[in-house]
């Protein structure tokens, strides 16, 4: 998973290209891409919002026509976070699809407190600076939780 500082594009949330990239990244980790995992990924990537494991299990149960337990969904979400297919949004205790499953950026989430929409930025320089500042304090950073709470463009009117 290279983090490249050169500008490059990522697939759009909810796009077929993102679904294909996610499948490819999971298979590259040696993990099977099952129908259930695909439904979970689609439930995460289709909304533009952070979703809880319970929301995901509701959506997936509806689409598959049988009850999928929240515990099963939790296990898949953990797997997705571990394999870079999804990110946890800490302030929401929820998850979003990662739009760049093939590259390791520390996402900066922009969370609208009015409508719940989540956008995100990637700034490897900023994230690297944060990690370096922590290291200078003798702190071993695992990962930053970078979240800005505020109002999205659509909700400012
Ligand atoms: Zn990237
Ligand atoms: Zn990102
Ligand atoms: Zn909004």
CA separation for the pair 43, 133 (Å, rounded)? 37
Q: What token pair was written down for 140? A: 């071993």
Ligand in closest contact with the CA of 107: 2
**pLDDT range class, residue 4, cuts 50, 70, 90:** low
| Chain-centre distance for alpha carbon 141 | 19
Domains and CATH numbers, the chain: 16-152 (1.10.10.10)
Measure 62 CA to ligand 2 centroid, in angstroms.
29
Examine the pLDDT at 56 and tell me if it is beyond 90: yes
**pLDDT range class, residue 7, cuts 50, 70, 90:** confident
Measure 116 CA to ligand 3 centroid, in angstroms.
6
Measure 67 CA to ligand 3 centroid, in angstroms.
32
Measure 12 CA to ligand 1 centroid, in angstroms.
12
Stretch 87-108: mean pLDDT, rounded?
Answer: 94
Helix (H) or strand (E) holding 112: strand 107-112
């Amino acid at each position: 998973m290279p983090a490249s500082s050169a500008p490059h594009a990522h697939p759009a949330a909810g796009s077929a290209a993102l679904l294909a990239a996610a499948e490819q990244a999971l298979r590259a980790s040696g993990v099977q891409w099952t129908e259930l995992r695909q439904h979970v990924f689609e439930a995460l990537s289709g909304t533009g919002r952070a979703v809880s494991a319970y929301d995901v299990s509701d959506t997936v149960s509806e689409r598959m026509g049988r009850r999928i337990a929240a515990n099963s969904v939790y296990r898949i979400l953990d797997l997705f976070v571990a394999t870079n297919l999804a990110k946890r949004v800490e302030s929401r205790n929820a998850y979003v699809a990662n739009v760049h499953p093939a590259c390791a950026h520390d996402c900066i989430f922009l969370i609208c407190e009015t409508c719940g929409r989540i956008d995100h930025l990637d700034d490897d320089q900023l994230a690297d600076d944060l990690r370096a500042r922590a290291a200078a304090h003798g702190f071993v950073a695992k990962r930053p939780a970078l979240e800005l709470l505020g109002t999205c463009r659509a909700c400012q009117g």
